[in-house]
Amino acid sequence: MESTSARRPESHFRAVFRVVSGNFLEMYDFTVYAYYASAIAHTFFPAENEFVSLLLALSVFGAGFVMRPIGALVLGAYVDRHGRRKGLILSLSLMAIGTACVAFVPGYATIGIVAPIVVLLGRLLQGFSAGVELGGVSVYLAEIAPPGKRGFFCSWQSGSQQVAVIFAAALGVLLNQVLPASAVTEWGWRVPFLIGCLIVPFLFLIRRTLRETDAFAARKHHPRMGEIMKSMLANAGLILAGMGLVVMTTTSFYLITTYTPTFGKNVLHLSSLDSLIVTLCVGVSNLVWLPVSGAISDRIGRRPILLIFTALTILTSYPAMQWLVAAPSFERLLTVELWLSVLYAWYNGAMVVALTELMPAHVRTTGFSMAYSLATLVGGFTPAISTWLIHVTGDKAAPGAWMGIAGLCGAVATLVIYRSRRARSGYEAA
């Protein structure tokens, strides 16, 4: 193993870039699936009722999140036992296989029921690998951060996701400019997945050069699976509190990014191009505000930011959506989504680092990943839940109410967590 002194010459920029590169692929794959949910529904889940077809496609999107807690436990234990570097390379490998399943499998018209089954298996594999990806990246960034800059460093875990959102949306805008809508539905939607496959070798090359964190290398004891399981049970309350903290993040993120193209096209009846341009702008907005929030949380603490922006979410998300659906337009969609982006990014910039600080050092990756993965069982189904809520209530603004409920979860979890002496001092004590 490399000595600490041998690792010092690497700049912080290079270290951050290396670790978040794979996180880009994880979010890129999830994003393009949701962007092209209508086309995927047409290809793999044909039905007489368009609503049923779309709901099936979005449910398969959500099914990937069911595997996240399992991946968090199995792969998280591997990371806490064998190191941050090895775990991040393994998660990238599994993600790449899942991407290929969606990119290359023929449609239902060609191979019948086998097609949606392979797509489902690909999504489940992606979910399994993603169960530890975010936790592994966040913990790595927290452990390499200089004193007083942990929030800023951890914010780039989410920052890399926004780069994926921007890239996928820009690619979608380009496809809509050069291909007719019928071609995008029939085969053009596969292009972003194929590009994802082409990116994989480059990402492997980057991650192979990752260096183990000093904090992990200096630890004398690395727990086995049995010890990690006991610790998870002993810290079940802590993990559930962390889950409540993350619900706000996952719900708001998937609402303003992956669901926006479907919402804009199918609910507001705006053009696909308009919806993708708005999503691109949301990604840029998130990328700007996330590191700002992380850096400010290093100065004033995590709790004030978490409480302020959950309160604003509870008070404004549904009214903002009501204003949008009252007179749908590109301008209103952009305005509302950018406001929701501010709520998400400021909250998340403080939340990710708060969650790393919450977990005991010896099971930090597993604990973080479990809390995050359990939350995605709620937030990850946001596109499907939003589609269902609009269908059963007739209220096109219902997704805003769903985001408000998530904000309430975040506020309650914040109050519970920061009332605990353990949450306030656990990270530094570890």
Q: pLDDT band for position 427 (50/70/90)?
A: very low
Instruction: Choose between 87 and 239: higher pLDDT.
Output: 239
Angular region, 328: left φ>0, alpha ψ -120 to 50, beta rest: beta
Instruction: Choose between 223 and 63: higher pLDDT.
Output: 63
pLDDT score recorded for residue 212: 59
pLDDT score recorded for residue 396: 94
Average pLDDT score over residue span 343-356: 93
Instruction: Choose between 11 and 46: higher pLDDT.
Output: 46
Tens-digit pLDDT profile for residues 218-273: 666 566 667 767 777 777 788 888 899 999 999 999 899 878 888 898 899 998 88
CA of residue 20 relative to chain centroid, distance: 13
Q: pLDDT band for position 7 (50/70/90)?
A: very low
Mean pLDDT of the chain: 83
Q: pLDDT band for position 4 (50/70/90)?
A: very low
pLDDT score recorded for residue 324: 96
Euclidean distance between the first and the last CA atom of the chain, given in angstroms as a whole number: 23
Please state, in angstroms and rounded to a whole number, the distance separating the CA atoms of residues 82 and 79: 5
Tens-digit pLDDT profile for residues 169-221: 888 888 888 888 888 888 888 998 888 888 888 877 777 766 655 655 566 65
pTM for this prediction: 0.78
pLDDT score recorded for residue 429: 37
Q: Is 255 exposed, middle or buried (0-12, 13-18, 19+ CB in 10 A)?
A: buried
Token pair for 14: 């290079």
Tens-digit pLDDT profile for residues 289-301: 999 999 999 999 9
Angle between helices 398-417 and 382-393 (to 10 degrees): 130
Average pLDDT score over residue span 6-27: 68
Angular region, 359: left φ>0, alpha ψ -120 to 50, beta rest: beta
337 has pLDDT over 80: yes
Q: pLDDT band for position 407 (50/70/90)?
A: very high
Q: What is the DSSP letter of 359?
A: S
Please state, in angstroms and rounded to a whole number, the distance separating the CA atoms of residues 218 and 157: 24
Q: Which domains does the chain have, with CATH numbers?
A: 9-206+224-429 (1.20.1250.20)
